Amino acid sequence: MSKQFKITYDKLLSLTNLQLKPYSDSKAELERSLDRTRALLKQLGSPDKKLKFIHITGTSGKGSTANMLHQILFEAGEKVGTYTSPHTTSYLERFQTGDKLIDPKILSDSIEEVISAYEQILEKGSDELSFFELSTAVALHAFVKAGIKWCVLEVGCGGRYDATNVIPTPRVAIITNIDLDHTELLGNTLSEIAYEKAGIIKNNGVVFSGETRPTIRKIFMKEAIKNNAALFFIDPHHDVGARRALPLQFGSHQQHNSAIAEAVARELEIPDEIVAKALQSTKLLPCRFETIQKNPTVILDGAHSPAKIKTTVAMIKNQNLKPHIIFGCTSTKNPEEIIKQLALVAESITTTRFDTQMRKAANPFKLLGLVPKSKRTSAFLDWRDALEHVEKLVKFGGARPGSAGKSDTIVITGSLYLSGDMRAHWIPEEQIIKNRSSFKK
């Protein structure tokens, strides 16, 4: 099944070489992009009309909040599926059903059916769809085929014109928070980004947000009033989240996500004891400050913006680490601030790039030039060479000339694409597909 699934996925991935229109910030063009996704879903029998949704956007924490809500709904006995992006190592990881990743055969069949429907709308003169738009259609179609009733749906980027925003009014919408990220698409200010994310607020909806700043809250309130939606703000130390704690491996920043998830569970009238049990059994998502190896310790972290790196740095400090860092990022990021923060806690920084061709990687040699000379080691075009280099640093004492002393921890960060590629060094894709799990048994 692993081989057949990968063949089918490669077929879907190959469609990205069709001539797509360049990104435009024209409202009319963005609306047409949503219309194309709607047309594809209609051709598939409108799976978006057959599911109950929890729709989640935000700069940070949306994946973790989706993960918690999935576990809560599953513990409550609901047939739940969750769609998140990007995946770490295998495309299968975007699709969670119940307590496993989706059945590879159901996903393969759904991909084939989406491609067939795509051919039909192209024959009618439709413009091409992006990989994410096609994947969103795959998710909704596959979930219906798998008998799913509840869909926890994570926005890919922004909200207002994201492919996931073609759904009807969800049972609950969530905006975790706002920070500067994806500025090349969403705008250069917090207000612009907040406006785009507020676009998931729909007529007569129920909305929860973890945003605390009054200026951003006003943007959400304006959108809620316009759509006659009920809007609730959950503070970081909300009473709901104070009733119970997440497992110890979760950082303190996850308590706010937990409070949002608990508030949504109350809205859905899920009993407190079920919520407590679900949160205690929730696992960290892959590449969220994930310890993948010990002796030496290797931590995989997908933080890819200054706001997310702040959390990574806090985790490093809380654990009293002085790690050797392997860093790589996409070409659309502004890495100066990220590297500046990492340098404060790093023993050394080595730069590299990821393998995937879905996103453009930043030049690791230019990244190395941003690293303070006292923390700089080498740049590598291949992450395997970077890992080998840093492993040698650790093996032979972990200290560079003139450094403070021994370090036996490696932290890989800067991109989910990088940490996901490198994760396959420990957990191969074939194993993930076979076990229908991102984790070792």
| 367-395: b (≥16 Cβ within 10 Å) or e | bbebbeeebbbbbbeebeebbebbeebbe
416-423 and 383-395 helices cross at what angle (nearest 10)?
Answer: 70
DSSP string, 91-135: GGGGEEETTEEPPHHHHHHHHHHHHHHHHHHHHTTPPP--HHHHH
DSSP string, 180-207: S-SHHHH-SSHHHHHHHHGGG--TT-EE
Q: How far is CA 393 from CA 30, 50, 165, 295, 327, in A?
A: 49, 54, 47, 13, 16
Higher per-residue pLDDT: 18 or 239: 18
User: In this predicted structure, what is the pLDDT of residue 66?
Assistant: 96
239-248, 282-291, 297-306, 343-352: the lowest-pLDDT one? 239-248
> Per the structure block, which two tokens stand in for 141?
């179609």
> Per the structure block, which two tokens stand in for 107?
């996903």
Write phi, then psi, for 142 (nearest 5 degrees). -65, -40
Question: 440: pLDDT confidence band, cut at 50, 70 and 90?
Answer: confident
Q: Tokens 């280099």 identify what position?
A: 389
Distance CA 79, CA 355 (A): 35
pTM: 0.91
Q: Which residues contact 3 (CB under 8 A, 6 or more apart)?
A: none
Mean pLDDT of 403-431: 88
Quick one: how far is CA 95 from the chain centroid? 12
- Residues 147, 152, 156, 159, Cα dihedral to 10°: 120
Beta carbons of 202 and 227 less than 8 angstroms apart: yes
Domains 2-285 and 290-423 share a fold: no
> Per the structure block, which two tokens stand in for 256?
């706010």
Residue 401 scores a pLDDT above 80: no
User: In this predicted structure, what is the pLDDT of residue 223?
Assistant: 97
CATH assignment of 290-423?
A: 3.90.190.20
Identify any residues that bridge with 153 across adjacent strands, giving them in sequence order.
55, 83
DSSP conformation class of 282 = P
| CATH architecture of the domain covering 2-285 | 3-Layer(aba) Sandwich (3.40)
Handedness of CA 165, 236, 227, 70 (dihedral sign): positive
215-234: per-residue pLDDT in tens? 999 999 999 999 999 999 99
DSSP string, 392-429: HHHHTTS--TT-SS---EEEEES-HHHHHHHHTTTS-H
User: In this predicted structure, what is the pLDDT of residue 243?
Assistant: 47
Beta carbons of 322 and 404 less than 8 angstroms apart: yes
Question: 357: pLDDT confidence band, cut at 50, 70 and 90?
Answer: confident
Domain ranges in the chain are: 2-285, 290-423
